[in-house]
């Protein structure tokens, strides 16, 4: 239970905490040093869904007919480059990286939900 409000506006202190993977910001009020809930789970879940969707698209698109019928692939200067296996593999690797990023962020989200 939060302490009673005394009518005075107290400044909010933001602590920058360095963790093993990335930086976590924790906000604490000066009244009793209780953490303020600033998490936005809906925004986090939408971001995770976007990462997975973009990752799957980038993973599969270079090997589909969508890639062949692309307007950039029809240009003579870019056709040979875009149809090469190296470029297709690089785009697929970027998609795989997006999926891995989403999984790591999902694990962090689950850890934050468990700790709260």
Considering the domain architecture, whether residues 34 and 48 belong to the same structural domain is answered as no
Per DSSP, what are the bridge partners of residue 75? none
Query: pTM to 2 decimals?
Result: 0.62
- What's the mean pLDDT when you consider all of the chain? 75
Radius of gyration of the chain (CA): 23
Residue 50 confidence class, pLDDT cut points 50, 70, 90? very high
**Total residues found in the chain within this entry:** 116
HSE toward the beta carbon, residue 48, CA cutoff 13 A = 15
Structural domain for 5, as ranges: 1-38
Considering the domain architecture, whether residues 15 and 61 belong to the same structural domain is answered as no
Span of 18-27, 38-47, 85-94, 105-114 with lowest mean pLDDT: 18-27
Considering the domain architecture, whether residues 56 and 75 belong to the same structural domain is answered as yes
pLDDT score of 102: 93
HSE toward the beta carbon, residue 33, CA cutoff 13 A = 1
Domain tally for the chain? 2
Considering the domain architecture, whether residues 66 and 51 belong to the same structural domain is answered as yes
What 33-41 contacts at long range (C-beta under 8 Å, 24+ apart), as own/partner pairs, is: 34/2, 36/12, 37/116, 39/112, 39/116, 41/109, 41/113
Contact yes or no for 35/26 (Cβ under 8 A): yes
pLDDT score of 89: 96
């Amino acid at each position: 239970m939060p302490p009673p409000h005394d009518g005075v506006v107290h400044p909010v202190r933001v602590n920058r905490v360095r963790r093993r993977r990335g930086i976590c910001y924790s906000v604490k009020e000066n009244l009793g040093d209780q953490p303020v809930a600033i998490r936005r789970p809906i925004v986090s879940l939408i971001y995770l869904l976007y990462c997975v969707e973009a990752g799957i698209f980038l993973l599969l698109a270079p090997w589909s007919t969508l890639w062949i019928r692309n307007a950039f692939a029809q240009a003579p200067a870019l056709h040979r480059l875009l149809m090469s296996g190296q470029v297709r593999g690089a785009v697929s690797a970027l998609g795989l990286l997006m999926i891995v990023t989403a999984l790591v962020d999902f694990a962090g989200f689950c850890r934050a939900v468990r700790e709260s």
